[in-house]
Chains A and B, each alone.
Chain A
């Protein structure tokens, strides 16, 4: 039957293959239309840096978008870049570097975690997962930087929302909806993303301190001051050795606060911060731009969990709850670090089973947070909920899913059963 379609179409796709690797939008449309017609589920992939995140699901065919790549339009003075969804993040960053610009949301590189080496993935994957790095509390998440998109819905129709201008309230903001939807709503084809100038300089104040309570206190005060930090992390003793740098010889627990901007201003703010935090009796290091960038790059890349054998959970909480949650989780022998100025916990668990997971979820829920299972052993993955959802939101999500993908052909079950 596919052959008939092939004869009628303008492209030369072979529908007997299991992996489609389209390089044009016309091909993507043809694939989706055929799958829609035949009820064939599709797994959508970019560069597979994050495809292990999410539930396992059955798919007959794979749509590999790694050949659908390229920068369509980059206007540094307009602060946007328009790219095809399969474009490697690396390529985008290289292009932005030339104009001293950046993606301010610092997307995580999950390559170290899953394969031991860098794989920052494709931009489509970054948007589909909506995981932002350390600057989150200051500049927003990935979704806050998506100006517009074009995608193919589950019927094979091309749809778009937003545009390339920052101010746009024309119709529903579907760019938000597709961010973090794990490829379950549309096949993304084009993305217009807000870019920002790189700060003139970036310096990091590192306080040698092994205590979480004190760390959260330092970071909390810093974030509530007018020194305007753009990063606040805490690494316990066991991770300190991962951050030995020229100006950071201490290998124990540390609290790091990043300040960015014009050089005079950064120095002024660092001085003020030291005073406001009463750090005179503390052991301190100030990392200059280069070392600061290395430090935050290692954080964004989750390098302390490089080639992790055990399980990794991502726990997001109101800052006020983090200390209590960590205290409760300590009985599970976790290793963790804190990002996002105190509201994001990356925690590895040697032992994790359905029962323990249930207990952890209850703790986090009680403290108004949520958990995403980033890396779990296969048997647990098959039985556990990777994402958590309540019945009301499930019902709404199901309706939204059907409004984009009525036959549930895109990554069916990747987020939730039935969606």
Chain B
């Protein structure tokens, strides 16, 4: 994995490390410029721990003016900059470069304003996703996008990656819940896109920046909309005799006009593993298990749960349990959210993929994954955000065995290619980063990629901001990366994943 090709290292920048550190110490408080290896070590990787690289320096600005001056300085001196939020990303988006200044935004950790009248929160970017909900829940509000790492991931990182979550089926991803951002461009320009008034005029830079993976600007302030918490939330736990039945049930629920708050499927392997791990009371004899959740008023939720129940029965469900309390509902989810650590018990290592497919292709894609599993002789467990066709196969392998690792990487790439082949996407919510960079040509042709690169060059002519991410360097479809976990040790083992 050390063979990952990154942009050419600028030896001149490397040789000027001390000078750069001293220049930056004039711009910001010198205690916020880190240069000793011991200080840099915590920043050498993000949630994609298979890749590690020490940065040249780390800066920790405290104000937007400092961010602006640092970027301006780096731009003028042709120094690469990698922005970083909480560092929980799963695609290597904030992995440092050897010759980069890593801009750690951790000091931007305050909520600026809670505005109930306009139903929004204005916050600094390194406030965690969950902290926003915590700040407004006493008034019955919450922030809808809920990536499973929400206890630790930053809202600025959510914007950079356009993070989703279990509830994006009904409430959308970050981009649909964002009102405005303040951004600093690579040349130091500070500007705001959007704000408390919806749909700002002109080109939708807010939409362009969201999901741009830190390549176009550094986010220094975020305004998100908050929603009133639903009155009632109920979930049903349903077992199926086959993955086809589960897949058909999902498609039919959607086609019937019910939009659940969340709808998840796990295959037998994962159902068993997660049940053993978290004692969630799952139907372990079922070939596939579905959790479907509805929210709203009491009557609304009852009506939808009834409909879902009928559809499940029509599709041969073998068991069906409806949550009777919030505690029970959370127990249903506990297993699903512990899928990562549960897999850690099954094999020394696993890689988590993140593809997106049309809902109707669930069974077909699962069959293909099953065939590939036999071909590569590697076990796989599958979890899906089935409602919106986002799948997370977990491939088991042994990283100490080079052949096993190679097979795992090929297996993963084959799955993603198949996702694209059936009309899906390479990544549903984890981002491209360094992980799927070389697979971009599966989804896009040269013209498509060139158009995107032209936008990048328009805003960052020297390609200094987070280079080597998202867009292919090799211009061929290599098989790289994935979320690699060894011995159950993720970078943040205590954080729920996907």
Contact = CB atoms under 8 A, between A and B. Distances in A.
A261 B307 CA distance: 14
Interface in B76-114: none
Give the most central of A165, A169, A179, A399: most B CB within 10 Å.
A169
B208 A173 contact: yes
Given A179-B207, A226-B140, A372-B201, A261 B296 contact: yes
Contact of B303 (A132, A153, A264): A264
Contacts of A200: 257
B458 interface: yes
A140 B198 CA distance: 9
B80 to A, nearest CB: 20
A393 B211 CA distance: 20
A396 B459 CA distance: 7
A130 interface: yes
A75 B358 contact: yes
A158 B199 contact: no
B316 to A, nearest CB: 18
Nearest to B458: A399
Contact of A160 (B161, B426, B444): B444
Contacts of B426: 170
A11 interface: no
B119 interface: yes
Nearest to A159: B451
Q: How large is the interface on A (under 10, 10 to 19, 20 to 34, 35 or more residues)?
A: 35 or more
B358 A197 contact: no
Interface in A371-416: 372, 387-389, 392-393, 396-397, 399-400, 402-404, 415
Nearest to B453: A403
A75 B252 CA distance: 12
Contact of B230 (A153, A175, A226, A400): A226
Given A170-B440, A177-B207, A181-B203, A316 B452 contact: no
Interface stretch (A58-66, A76-84, A90-98, A237-245): A76-84
Contact of A173 (B193, B195, B210): B210
Contacts, number: 252
A336 to B, nearest CB: 16
Given A160-B444, A171-B470, A265-B297, A77 B255 contact: yes
Interface stretch (B7-15, B42-50, B382-390, B406-414): B382-390
Contacts of B200: 370
Interface of A: 75-79, 100, 130, 132, 136-137, 140-141, 143-144, 153, 157-161, 163-177, 179-181, 185, 196-198, 200, 220, 223-228, 261-262, 264-265, 267-269, 272, 316-320, 340, 343, 368-370, 372, 387-389, 392-393, 396-397, 399-400, 402-404, 415
11 contacts: A159-B447, A171-B449, A171-B471, A173-B208, A196-B259, A220-B117, A227-B297, A343-B197, A393-B191, A400-B205, A400-B455
Interface of B: 115-119, 140, 161-162, 164, 168-169, 172-173, 175-176, 185, 189, 191, 193, 195-208, 210-212, 216, 228-231, 251-252, 254-259, 296-300, 302-304, 356-360, 385, 388-390, 423-432, 436, 440, 443-444, 447-449, 451-452, 454-455, 457-459, 470-471
Given A169-B429, A268-B298, A396-B205, 8 more contacts: A75-B358, A166-B389, A170-B443, A200-B257, A370-B200, A392-B191, A396-B189, A400-B455
